[in-house]
Amino acid sequence: MQKLKISVLLFVILTSCISRELISVTHDSLEFKSEFKNAITISKLKGVKSKNKKPLFYNIDSTVSLRLDYTSKKYSIEKRRIEYFYKGRKFDYKKSIDFLRKNSGYYWLYEGEGFSKKTDTFPLKLSVGSWFKVTGLMRENEEYYLFFHIKSNTDIEYYSGKINYSPI
């Protein structure tokens, strides 16, 4: 029984460290501690059934993508990754993206059934009790996802994991 308690505690500590290393979410902004492809996707969830901070069952209510506003891209052999450019200048990634203000070099794409709308500010409401899923987070060429739950005006819970793709 003691080993089980230690294992559960270690699991909670590790998953919380992974999520905080990738991204932090506040009511005003996203703070990136890792990179992302040319877009990350944030889905607002509904009908969430969870256990131990991890959503087990849910439906997607609405989806928003944070996208780079670039004019060209090229693959860097030296860095082993795609580099993005805006009007001939190398794209400069930001570590913080504000929800309520325009972020130069980025835009939000709000997507629904049969429509998409480009906006300067985050179009979803971050209200108490809401659940969200973030995909497109990268660390060391591996992709991760993050769930976050807004428990109160000051408390946001996180759960993250690595995306494993099947070879089939």
pLDDT confidence of residue 3: 42
pTM equals: 0.75
Q: What is the pLDDT of residues 5-36, one digit of tens each?
A: 333 333 333 333 344 466 788 888 888 776 66
| φ/ψ bin of 105: left (φ > 0), alpha (ψ from -120 to 50), beta (otherwise) | left
Residue 160 has pLDDT above 70, yes or no: yes
Q: Which residue(s) pair with 46 in the sheet? A: 59
Q: Is 25 helix (H, G, I), strand (E, B) or coil?
A: strand
Distance CA 79, CA 127 (A): 40
pLDDT confidence of residue 153: 85
pLDDT confidence of residue 168: 67
> Quick one: CA dihedral 36, 109, 69, 95, positive or negative?
negative
Question: What mean pLDDT do residues 134-158 have?
Answer: 84
Q: What φ, ψ does residue 91 adopt, rounded to 5°?
A: -65, 135
Q: What is the pLDDT of residues 44-78, one digit of tens each?
A: 999 898 887 788 899 998 899 998 887 788 888 88
Residue 133 has pLDDT above 80, yes or no: yes
**Strands, E assignment, 4-95:** 23-25, 29-32, 35-51, 54-68, 72-76, 81-86, 89-90
Distance CA 85, CA 39 (A): 15
Q: How confident is the model at residue 90 (pLDDT cuts 50, 70, 90)?
A: confident
Q: How confident is the model at residue 118 (pLDDT cuts 50, 70, 90)?
A: very high
Which two three-digit tokens encode residue 76?
Answer: 């860097």
> Quick one: CA dihedral 25, 116, 72, 75, positive or negative?
positive
**Which H helix or E strand runs over 27?**
none
Which two three-digit tokens encode residue 107?
Answer: 């835009």
pLDDT confidence of residue 59: 92
